[in-house]
Structure 1
Amino acid sequence: MLIHPHINPIALELGPLKVHWYGLTYLAAFAAFYFLANWRARRAPFVAAGWDRQKVEDMLFFGVLGVVLGGRLGYVLFYKPAYYLAHPAEIFAVWQGGMAFHGGLLGVILAMYLYGRRTGRPFFEVADLVAPCVPVGLAAGRIGNFINGELWGRAADPSLPWAMIFPESGSDLPRHPSQIYQFGLEGLLLFVLLWVYALKPRHRGAVSGLFLLGYGVMRFTAEYFREPDSFLGLLALNMSMGQWLCIPMIVLGAVFYVLAKKDAFQPESRKA
């Protein structure tokens, strides 16, 4: 039986400064985004729209704020609203842990909208540039979860070759390494699908719609192997909070993709 190795969550200590592995995965995510977004900015139709390195850097600044603030507020509102209502001073105590992808996504959507308003760019032009660059960052985050031994999976059949005991769970049950499942699904697989799809010119909004749809389906699936949060458990229809939050993503992604195919997001001057 595999046992999750105890890995010190602190990667480096320099006097009072402590650098955590999870923080390094965030840095890796932002670095990967910067590299990939700059590559996409040099491709048609983004070159024709005036994208360059400076604009990518400005957009990244907005995006980082959206991820951090949205991720934290999403965790507060979606997962522990009663607790933080009683302890408002802890809302921004991010060092205590607690970030939510769906909140981070909403934060990034708002950041892209604000960046678009500030620079006079259509929302889906910005979103289509960003979408294929995001899954690599999600993959980095799941590696951070695995290193920390958090967000472990549900109980697994002991005969499963890769079933793993997570001592951090407080039990010796063999479990699915759900962090690795999510790393593979919503990280690597989604990245490959989106990146290959986006290599050819697509209708405006199609890449963004496919991201929402693809992530929603893959996260919804992975949640069947991930242990629900102990303070929430399974909700209605035996679904986790993560699955319920994925449903609007799947619906909106499908709607956006269909509308994009009908040129609903293309400027009137460019429609056939």
Structure 2
Amino acid sequence: MKELFSIGPFHIYFFGVAVAAGIAAGTIFAINEAKKRDISSETITDLILITIISGVLGARLFYILFYNPSIYFNNPVEIFKIYEGGLSIHGGIFTAIATGYIYTVKKKQSFLKLADIIVTALPLAQGIGRVGCDVFGKTMNNIMPWGINYGGQILHPAQVYEFILDYILFIFLWRRSYHKKFDGELFAIYLISYPIIRGIVEFFRINPIIWGPFSISHLLSLILVIIGIVVYKILSKNRSKYNNDLVNKEIKLNASILYLIVLIAVSVFVFYYVQG
């Protein structure tokens, strides 16, 4: 991991700072969106905290089971070295959904309404977090200007591809939130869209291959896409008359495009400044 600086025995890494910034930005955005819907900030922050913890645990579990099971089963102590990396975003999504659902049921809150808020903020947090990731992609066969020199090789900056697509999804979901037709629509769209993003980026990454050019990550992404499509169809068929009271508060198209450009420009600059 890229170390930014150290204070005595404490080392501050770029990835950790980026993840923390992503969580902070996503949380602030989610709280603001919740207030517009008369949902308390405490409810949202508690839900975010619970899903983050469960998401990290689930991401670690899936990585162990699907990516390098033999290494961890033969060396169990390695399971706990999460600081060395080894997380599966798919596992994080699965477990975050499960614990989020349990939390909302116990608190007698609408899971779908809260999920729509969380998944709108999630691509923003994921995108910012990816800026600090130093797991680069495959070697570029045809050298492009945006390739990054790592260990003497020009590699695909897979992180850049992903955070750009994440930001686009964030803006799309944010705008869609003012026109959604039923609670859970954004949740279902995220389950379909993010795995597609992950699948696209996966072609530029190095992960265990299961068939042809497709990796285990592609398989997990396909499962999420199928689940998302099923959820969307079920919710859209069972919806009753829906009143979106935010329709008159839509963010302007020009403003949303500006936000997207700024997000991408700042992230690209920070990424290449630190990682390059």
Q: TM-score, normalised by structure 2?
A: 0.81
| TM alignment of 1:93-172, pairs within 5 A | 93-145=81-133, 148=134, 150-158=135-143, 160-167=144-151, 172=153
Is the contact between residue 38 and residue 56 of structure 1 (CA under 8 Å) also seen in structure 2? yes
**Residue 92 to residue 110, structure 1, CA distance change in 2 (3 Å):** farther
Matches within 5 A, 1:213-224: 213-224=192-203
Change (3 A) 1:156 1:188: farther
1:39-58 to 2 correspondences below 5 Å: 39-43=32-36, 46-47=37-38, 51-58=39-46
Partner of 2:28: 35
1:208 partnered with 2:187 = yes
Deviation at residue 271 of structure 1 after TM alignment: 8.1
User: Contact 2:124 / 2:170 at 8 angstroms: preserved in 1?
Assistant: yes
- Would you say the 8 A contact 2:180–2:186 is kept in 1? no
Tell me how far 1:225 sits from its aligned partner: 2.1
Q: Does 1:175 align with 2:163?
A: no
Distance across 1 between alignment mates of 2:12 and 2:155: 29
* Matched position secondary structure for 2:118: helix
Q: Distance in 2 between matches of 1:106 and 1:73?
A: 11
- The aligned residue for residue 4 of structure 1 is none
Structure 2: 5+ residue stretches without partners = 244-276
- CA positional deviation for 1:78: 1.7
Task: Say whether the 8 Å CA contact 2:5–2:11 is kept in structure 1.
Answer: yes
Q: CA deviation at 1:12?
A: 2.8
Number of positions where the alignment pairs a residue of Structure 1 with one of Structure 2: 243
Task: Report the Cα offset of residue 208 of structure 1.
Answer: 0.5
Q: Distance in 1 between matches of 2:219 and 2:5?
A: 38
TM-score w.r.t. the length of structure 1 is 0.82
State the secondary structure of the residue aligned to 1:131.
helix
DSSP 3-state at the match of 2:80:
coil
CA RMSD of aligned residues (A): 2.1
Q: 1:237, CA displacement in angstroms?
A: 3.5
Match for residue 74 of structure 1? 62
In structure 1, what is the equivalent of residue 266 of structure 2?
none
User: Letter of the aligned partner of 1:163 in structure 2?
Assistant: G
Q: 1:201 Cα shift?
A: 4.2
Identity of aligned residues (%): 26
Letter in 2 for 1:153: K
Is residue 192 from structure 1 mapped to residue 158 from structure 2 by the alignment? Answer: no
CA contact (8 A) 1:112 1:126 kept: no
Q: Which SS does the other structure have where 1:190 is aligned?
A: helix
Aligned to 2:220: 245
CA 56–255 in structure 1, closer or farther in 2 if over 3 Å, else same: same
Per the TM alignment, residue 77 of structure 1 is displaced from its structure 2 partner at its CA by 1.4
